[in-house]
Structure 1
Amino acid sequence: MKKLIVLALACAAILGLAATAPAATEVRMVGDALVYGVYYSNRNFTGWNPAVWTSAAGAYKGAGAKTEENFQIWERFRVRTDFIASEAVKFRLSLKVEDTWGHGTFTAANPTTAVVPYQAYLQFKIPGCAAEATAGLQRVDLPQSKLFYASPVFGDNAAALVVKSPLVDKTLSVVAGFGRLIDTNRTYDTTTTQVADELDLYFLALPIAVEGFKATPWGAVAVAGKNANYFTNKSSQYGSAYYVDDLASAGTFLSPTLWKNDQNAFWWAGGAFEVTALDPVKFYADVIYGTGAQSDRKKSRRAGWFLDAGAEYTGFDMLTPQVFAWWSTGEDKSTVNGSERMPIVRPNWGPGNGFLFDDSQALVKDSNVGMSPVGSWGLGASLNNISFIERMTNRLTFMYVGGTNSARAIRYLNDLMGSNPYFTMGRDLTVNEYVLGVNFDTKYMIYENLAAIVETGWAHGEFQQSVWGHRLVSQSRDGDTWKVSFGLSYKF
């Protein structure tokens, strides 16, 4: 009980700041709470844990050492407080607590409270112009057409400086930013020899909007230090991959291992497009090329393409039909010539609230399969905003996902390393594999700010035994993956 005092003190600190703020400062508080149960069967298509990296040096444990817990109850509550000095200056502090009932904060006898700041930033207008700067822990999304939720390259909270400014009123603007994603050793390196232990991201976008059309050309550069901790930092919100999986090539693990250079540059160039001139028919598309470590050993280089496109019809009152497709380059037959998959940093991409990808699920934990958006192709359809009953909306989405990776490349690394975290069955598909996914989601507004939510998902995968081994593939054939999440969402 005493440990819960930490949470009370955090809330008191917010109220104390509000009470002692200058008279001219306006304080606004909003927040949300989620309480929901999740029944999830056959995680990773096996019901077993995936392979995981266990040290910054690249040690790992193979898949299938643990069995899943089918049912958990999650609770998350968040408070966002804005301290507004004027129209030109404000500061936001956002705190959250998130855990399962019976664990951590929600343990009955000896709770271990964990209050996490997930946003903390200063936002102000630059004097003498219309530009706005935001500095601190904030949401950063590289441009993406809105049908696909967020970026396959980066979409998450990050410590960053972002400047936005209009160039031509209501037509052209600029967004420029810098984020420090990893700084492993912080103030001092571990010895008197300095090492490159940071991962930094620079980005620039030029949103262009005219009647019926919007285009956002953009570019990003990441500078990746060799000694940043890529092996134990998760690179997805769902926790299905690590930074090393998404940035490095498979050849990085061949002798001599890891990168040769102390620092490697990765860069991306892309465009997000939305066409509404034919409203109620709307079109969406994205084109991205990314590459990295091109000055390193040939086997350590990585480069590839990612394309998506979709359309929706918004002319019906009771539903919105959507169709979508995507394609990305995959590994060729050789590992020694580097990777042909586009490097990514922290993806948050997916259409139709799909069960297969980590995207827009309202009930966030245990919410999806966690497939990689690169090294795959797919198509799908969604009936969104279905509304035949007052206060109730539904969504039905179907997806088919195939692989673009050579079976030979994945098999070679698996033969060399055994079950490893770099390639994971169900997350990374060969050209001979596929996954089917369906999700049906329902929201019922009990009151204006209180919703009952049910999210269901089902997935079936066909995998190659010669690539992943008899044990994992045989287990995947015993039953499909599915989930049922049900709970309450309150916003205030």
Structure 2
Amino acid sequence: MKRYTVWALLAALVLGMAGFAQAATEVKMTGDARVYGVFFANHNFTGWNTGSWDNNSGAYTGAGTQTEDRFQIWERFRLRSDFVANEAVKFRLGIKVEDTWGHGTLTAANPQVAIAVYQAYLQFKLPDCDIEVTAGLQDLSLPANAFFTDSVVFGGDRAAALVVNAPLIKDTLAVSAGFSRMIDTNRTYDTTTTQVADELDMYFLALPITLDGFKATPWGAVAVAGDKAGYFNAGFADYLMSAGSVLYGWKNDQNAYWWAGSTFEVTALDPVKFYADVIFGAGAMSDRKYAKRQGWFIDFGAEYTGWDILTPQVFGWWSTGEDGSIRNGSERLPQILPNWGPGNSFLFDDSQELGKESNMGANPVGAWGLGASLNNISFIEKLSHILTFTYMRGTNQPGAIRKMNVLLGSNPYYTMGRDLTTEESLMAVNFDTKYMIYENLAAVMETGWAHGDFQSSVWGHRLASKSREGDAWKVAFGLTYKF
């Protein structure tokens, strides 16, 4: 009986606190749900898995050891709750449930709890001004043009960060500055009494400029990378480090990485609009020669928005690639976690609504490419389409990738289909459709096809030969609901 009395008292306390919170704080809830099936043939151009890192020591499982399952049904639900004290102060809590049918949370036979917190931040304005501070787990991106979805360096992912946004000249000039601790492998205590550098910290500054018919955002970022941070576990090693540092490690306990660039948007000739990004980045430049990584990335896009029935778009990009040696460092732009891609392209992890198994995972860094898109095609009310063709070719000399594969075998650092040599190319087409059943409920179908030409002398006969047996393609269909 006492046990039930205790539970009753606890329930009364929770209800009382909820009632008090409701009286003092306004709670706003928004969210979205997706349920969709994906048929995907020839993942990674082979129907086999890519290589993957097993631990932070660099152990790995090679490509071509597992066979694809071509059909999956995915479900995702996200709920965002804003606890608003007043116009200046709020707290956001975002929770997510995501899994595939037949496994985990969304299966009657195995109802495990798998709710993840993906947003948790405090946001407020300083008294008597428009300076806004956001602190906590939040969506974070380095500056980029929405035409290309997001940043090729770090874009559209959650991170624990402190960000300050302040207007300097109203509607003309602002400043955005922030700090993010992206990795802290050992957290409070290192594993022994010897302290190690196990963190990856990033600092960034941006100056959005808005003029009549022109926008630009010059920006810069600096990351301090500890040599004992979990780059392999976090999936950062492929994008951030050089091949030499993956093989032999760093001399320094900490290395600095830095990026500088700007976004550009020209609307003075509206309805013709132009977009561009220019970025240079470098890292580990004070370490051994093989550990250095530096490179350029440039993209350009244009669109005509004067028609109601469709929006024609063209785009292209170029970046530096490896020079053929792994002994003198990397000539590619260092990245942390990219989210770049135009036109909903099937090649890139970009703007697909049905996100799981949605693309080929190609990396635009170390490549150049061209493409065209017919966006916002709409001849029937509530029905819209997008059609995109993309062609890309590598700027990496075959020698660097070949040498890495000779030393390690098929490995996760260089992946066939993601990293291209100067003798390799990809092409892809996607045709995607959305029908608005109701204002907030849509039926979505995304389709894609991709073909790649790969060198047997670089990737080995087994993987390259398998890629020639059939092209990659997908059909995804599902429902999306937003509230």
TM-score by length of 2: 0.96
Does the residue aligned with 2:298 lie in a helix, a strand or coil? strand
Which consecutive residues of structure 1, in runs of 5 or more, have no partner in the other structure?
Answer: 1-12, 234-241
- CA positional deviation for 1:20: 3.9
CA distance in 2, matches of 1:478, 1:16: 65
Q: Does 1:150 align with 2:150?
A: yes
Could you tell me which residue of structure 1 aligns to residue 238 of structure 2? 245
Q: Offset of 1:408 from its aligned partner?
A: 0.7
What secondary structure sits across from 1:371 in the alignment?
coil
Q: Report if aligned partners of 2:237, 2:246 keep a CA contact under 8 Å in 1.
A: no
Using the TM superposition, give the Cα deviation of residue 129 of structure 1 relative to its aligned residue in structure 2, in angstroms. 2.4
Give the Cα separation in 2 of the matches to 1:309 and 1:267.
23
**Contact 2:388/2:429, CA 8 A, preserved across alignment:** yes
Deviations 1:201-223 (A, max 9, x none): 11000000011000100000111
SS in 1 for 2:231: coil
1:78 counterpart SS class: strand
Q: Could you tell me which residue of structure 2 aligns to residue 167 of structure 1?
A: 168
Residue aligning to 1:375: 366
1:288 corresponds to which residue?
279
Hey, what does 1:203 align to over in structure 2? 204
- Residue deviations 1:55-84, cap 9 Å, x none? 111111111110000000000001000000
Aligned letter for 1:200? D
Q: Letter of the aligned partner of 1:68 in structure 2?
A: E
CA-CA distance at 1:118 after TM superposition: 0.6
Change (3 A) 1:321 1:182: same
Once the two structures are superposed, residues 317-341 of structure 1 have per-residue CA deviations (whole angstroms, 9 ceiling, x without a partner) of: 1000000000000000211110000
CA distance in 1, matches of 2:471, 2:256: 41
| Cα distance in 2, alignment partners of residues 391 and 60 from structure 1 | 48
**Aligned partner of 1:425: which letter?**
M
Q: In the alignment, does 2:139 pair up with 1:139? A: yes
- Give the superposition deviation at 1:459: 0.3
CA distance in 2, matches of 1:289, 1:456: 34
2:301 pairs with 1:310? yes
SS at match of 1:227: coil
Residue 46 (structure 1) shift: 0.3
The answer as to whether partners of 1:41 and 1:481 remain within 8 angstroms in 2 is yes
Task: Note the C-alpha offset of 1:87.
Answer: 0.5
3-state DSSP class of the match of 1:127? Answer: coil
Q: CA deviation at 1:14?
A: 11
* Equivalent runs, 1:63-462 vs 2, <5 Å: 63-155=63-155, 156-233=157-234, 242-254=235-247, 257-462=248-453
Partner of 2:4: none
Say whether the 8 Å CA contact 1:208–1:214 is kept in structure 2. Answer: yes
Amino acid at match of 1:54: D
Give the whole-Å Cα distance in 1 for the aligned partners of 2:19 and 2:352.
Answer: 36
Counterpart amino acid of residue 320 in structure 1: T
Matched AA of 1:282: K
Q: Once the two structures are superposed, what CA deviation does each residue of 1:395-449 show, in whole Å capped at 9, x if it has no partner?
A: 0000001000000110011001101000000000000000001100000000111
Quick check: 2:220–2:260 contact (8 Å CA) kept in 1? yes
Aligned counterparts of 1:42 and 1:420: Cα–Cα separation in 2: 19
Change (3 A) 1:409 1:279: same
Q: Distance in 2 between matches of 1:16 and 1:125?
A: 29
SS of the residue aligned with 1:232?
helix
Residue 252 of structure 1: CA displacement? 1.5
Instruction: Provide the secondary structure at the position in 1 that maps to 2:361.
Output: coil
1:106–1:129: structure 2 CA closer, same or farther, 3 Å change rule? same
Pairwise CA distance, 1:487? 0.2
Residue in 2 aligned with 1:491?
Answer: 482
Query: How far has the Cα of 1:110 moved from its partner?
Result: 2.3
Question: Contact between 1:62 and 1:419, CA under 8 Å: does it hold in 2?
Answer: yes
Q: 1:88 to 1:14 in 2, by over 3 A?
A: farther
1:61 aligns with 2:61: yes
User: Which sections of structure 2, spanning at least 5 residues, go unmatched?
Assistant: 1-12
Structure 2 residue 470 is the aligned partner of structure 1 residue 479: yes
Q: Distance in 2 between matches of 1:185 and 1:26?
A: 38
Letter in 2 for 1:226: D
Q: Structure 1: which 4+ aligned runs deviate by more than 6 Å? A: 13-17
Give the residue type in structure 2 aligned to 1:341. Answer: R
Preserved contact between residue 18 and residue 27 of structure 1 (Cα < 8 Å): no
Kindly indicate whether the alpha-carbon contact (under 8 Å) linking 1:436 and 1:461 is maintained by their aligned counterparts in 2.
yes
In structure 1, distance between residues paired with 2:17 and 2:347: 43
The structural deviation recorded for 1:107 is 2.2
SS at match of 1:471: helix
Structure 2 CA distance, aligned partners of 1:410 and 1:318? Answer: 45
Evaluate the alpha carbon distance shift between residue 247 and residue 14 of structure 1 in structure 2; reply closer, same or farther with a 3 A threshold: farther
User: Matched residues in 2 for 1:15 and 1:313: separation?
Assistant: 55
Give the Å deviation of 1:17. Answer: 7.0
Could you say what the CA RMSD is over the residues aligned between the two structures, in angstroms? 1.3
Q: Compute the displacement of 1:22 (Å).
A: 5.2
| Cα distance change on mapping 1:330 and 1:284 into 2, 3 Å | same
CA distance in 1, matches of 2:478, 2:318: 34
Q: Distance in 2 between matches of 1:419 and 1:44?
A: 13
Q: 1:261, 1:296 within 8 Å by CA — same for their partners in 2?
A: yes
In the comparison of the two structures, how many residue pairs are matched? 470
Deviations 1:280-325 (A, max 9, x none): 0000000000000001000000000000001000000100000000
Amino acid at match of 1:153: V
Q: 1:82 to 1:275 in 2, by over 3 A?
A: same
The answer on whether the counterparts of 2:136 and 2:160 sit within 8 Å (CA) in structure 1 is yes
The answer to whether the Cα contact below 8 Å between 2:271 and 2:305 also exists between their aligned partners in 1 is: yes
Amino acid at match of 2:201: D
SS in structure 2 at match of 1:85: strand
Aligned pair in 2 of structure 1 residues 270, 16: CA closer, same or farther (>3 Å)? farther
Q: Which amino acid aligns with 2:397?
A: S
